[in-house]
Amino acid sequence: MHINIYHQGSFANFLYQRRLLATTINHSEDEILKKGLKTLAKMTQEEFEGLKLILEVLLNQKSATETEETI
């Protein structure tokens, strides 16, 4: 599956700007979830589409890894 590098970079930049990556280290799962939901509510359509692409790739990689482990 071809993933548009622009979407990956855009979403990574989005996460960095919102400082979500840095705040996950010292916060509880509930706090991370609240911040994530607030951020999702503020996303543009383009950022949301980038997130969907990234999640799809990650899920496909996980599925492929699990398949390899069972073989």
Question: Which domain covers residue 29, as residue numbers?
Answer: 5-65
Q: What angle do CA 49, 30, 61 make, to 5 degrees?
A: 40
The whole-angstrom separation of Cα 25 and Cα 58 is 21
Please check whether residue 70 lies inside any domain of the structure.
no
Mean pLDDT rounded to a whole number for the chain: 73
Please check whether residue 36 lies inside any domain of the structure.
yes
Over range 10-14, report the average pLDDT. Answer: 69
* Overall number of domains in the chain: 1
The whole-angstrom separation of Cα 63 and Cα 19 is 29
- With bands split at pLDDT 50, 70 and 90, how would you rate the model's confidence at 1? very low
pLDDT over 70 (residue 25): no
The whole-angstrom separation of Cα 8 and Cα 16 is 12
Over range 21-45, report the average pLDDT. Answer: 77
